[in-house]
Amino acid sequence: MDTGSVTLPTALDVDAAATRLAGVAIRTPLISSPMLDERLGARVFLKAETMQRMGAFKFRGAYNKISSIPRDRWPSGVVAFSSGNHAQGVAAAAKLLGMPAVIVMPSDAPRPKRERTAALGAEVILYDREKEDREAIARRIAGERGAVLVPPYDDPLIIAGQGTLGREIIEDLAKAGLKPDVVVIGASGGGLAAGTALAIKAAAPQADIFTAEPEGFDDTARSFRSGKRESNARMSGTICDALMSQHPGEMTFAINSRLIGKGVSASDEEVARAVGFAFRELKLVVEPGGAIGLAALLAGKVDVKGKVAVAILSGGNVDPDLFYKLIAA
């Protein structure tokens, strides 16, 4: 993709997406915990996107994209590639709009994600993430069926849809007379980070935004440091299954390098502790990838002392067996 020939989304596109999603996406709560505030010495807020349709922010971008497809293209449906949350978001949005959906998913994706995607009526096609190119498979299917490809992050409408989450953060903090000083956002391809940064920076330009990634899969942070898109050496090997994109998107990196530019990482052990903390202290079920921002805060990877800090709990679709192991540890 040549980002020079593509119009990048803006905060106005996020506003338009919010109008499109009104009454369809759930306005998820911004929660706080006195225990967390005391532990970190800050006013900490968590955006509980675990309560979104299908348990993840991905529904926002998927619906914004799919509902914008011309109606004469609807019968041919949509095709997406995803490890699970985007898969479910696309499947749910397509079902609401009465469109067929094909989802290309890795064979090692958590079973609940595969089953829920199929239960929504989508046709699931599995691939080997170590040996096969998921995007190539999806593009081939889209071409054969005349379907619209719905990418997981590198698309203006996807990014704008995800940005409605950041817009809600700003609005809910404003009701309390606050603005964010620090925002921590989990990153894989970078769509959530890009959309949220557009909304946050438009209203609170002073806010420091950080991406958070698993150790060994910190391609976004390394890309910030080098000034070019870096790749991960592996495509598996972390409990954060939702955060294993090979490299940042071209469009998302163009936005994130300008509005964010700083990234941190957390180990699987730190993520596990965050999942356990969310369950025991907040009574929330958060998948490992969805807890990466909270993990970064709890591990002291970002200085928030005396500040208003926000972390996004971006997904709650966790394999039951893994979840038990994490909270029992």
Predicted confidence at residue 83, as pLDDT, reads 76
Domain ranges within the chain, ordered by starting residue = 3-57+155-328, 59-149
**If you classify domain 59-149 with CATH, what class do you get?**
alpha beta
- What distances in angstroms separate CA 61 from CA 89, 107, 126, 230, 261, one per listed residue? 8, 24, 23, 24, 23
Is residue 129 within 8 A of residue 109, CB to CB? The reply is no
pLDDT tens string 120-158: 999 999 999 888 998 999 999 999 999 999 999 999 999
Is residue 293 within 8 A of residue 311, CB to CB? The reply is yes
Is residue 308 within 8 A of residue 172, CB to CB? The reply is no
Predicted confidence at residue 253, as pLDDT, reads 98
Whether the model clears a pTM of 0.75, i.e. scores above it, the answer is: yes
In the chain, which residues have pLDDT < 50?
2
CATH fold match for the domains 3-57+155-328 and 59-149: yes
**If you classify domain 3-57+155-328 with CATH, what class do you get?**
alpha beta
Give the separation between CA 154 and CA 71, rounded to whole angstroms.
22
Predicted confidence at residue 3, as pLDDT, reads 55
Would you call 329 helix, strand, or coil by DSSP?
A: coil
pLDDT tens string 220-270: 999 999 999 999 988 889 999 889 888 999 999 999 999 999 999 999 999
Please give the full DSSP string across 79-99, using - where no structure is assigned: EEE-SSHHHHHHHHHHHHHT-
